């Protein structure tokens, strides 16, 4: 099934992004909706972030939204990564992260950072598989970083 899923850039409408983030809301620890208004957050992502989508047929089944705008420090930032529950376990998160790494590398960025809930062990394990490592801790989240080689 994962071979039939394509990755596309900026191929998502506001209502599709809101629906996907709401579907994944409980997978964020703490919940995404406890930290942001999902509608406002979706608008901001569409307006300012790079977004790569996973598309199966005509359905959006996952996204990675990231910023590559810190040209001074050459640090990209993954703001959101989510894959629809029925499409997990297929290596799709890896494919999405790979697109961010490739994009940032092509822009001569040196690092990719993200913030993840301290108690979101599944997500932390995923990022650690990519050699993201902890560089800072906040109250209920940690900042992880990947060094682009």
Reported as a single tens digit per residue, the pLDDT across 25-56 is 988 888 999 889 999 999 999 999 999 999 98
Q: Is 23 left (phi over 0), alpha (psi -120 to 50) or beta?
A: alpha
pLDDT band (50, 70, 90) for residue 92: very high
What are the CA-CA distances from residue 87 to residues 3, 4, 35, 54 (Å)?
12, 12, 25, 10
CA torsion angle 60 65 68 73 (round to 10): -160
pTM: 0.90
C-alpha distance across the termini of the chain, in Å: 31
Half-sphere exposure in the Cβ direction for 35 (13 Å, CA)? 16
**Residue 8 confidence (pLDDT):** 80
Does 1 score more than 80 pLDDT?
no
Does 81 score more than 90 pLDDT?
yes
**Residue 7 confidence (pLDDT):** 83
Does 135 score more than 70 pLDDT?
yes
Q: Pairing between strand 133-137 and 111-117?
A: unpaired
């Amino acid at each position: 099934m994962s071979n039939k899923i394509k990755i596309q850039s900026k191929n998502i409408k506001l209502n599709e992004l809101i629906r996907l983030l709401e579907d994944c809301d409980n997978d964020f620890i703490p919940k995404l909706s406890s930290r942001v208004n999902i509608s406002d957050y979706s608008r901001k992502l569409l307006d300012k972030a790079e977004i790569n989508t996973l598309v199966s047929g005509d359905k959006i089944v996952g996204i990675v939204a990231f910023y590559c705008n810190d040209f001074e420090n050459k640090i990209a930032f993954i703001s959101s990564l989510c894959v629809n529950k029925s499409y997990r376990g297929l290596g799709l998160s890896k494919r999405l992260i790979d697109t961010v790494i490739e994009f940032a590398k092509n822009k001569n960025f040196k690092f990719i950072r993200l913030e993840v809930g301290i108690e979101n062990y599944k997500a932390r394990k995923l990022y650690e598989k990519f050699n993201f490592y902890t560089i800072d801790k906040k109250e209920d989240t940690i900042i992880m970083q990947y060094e682009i080689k």
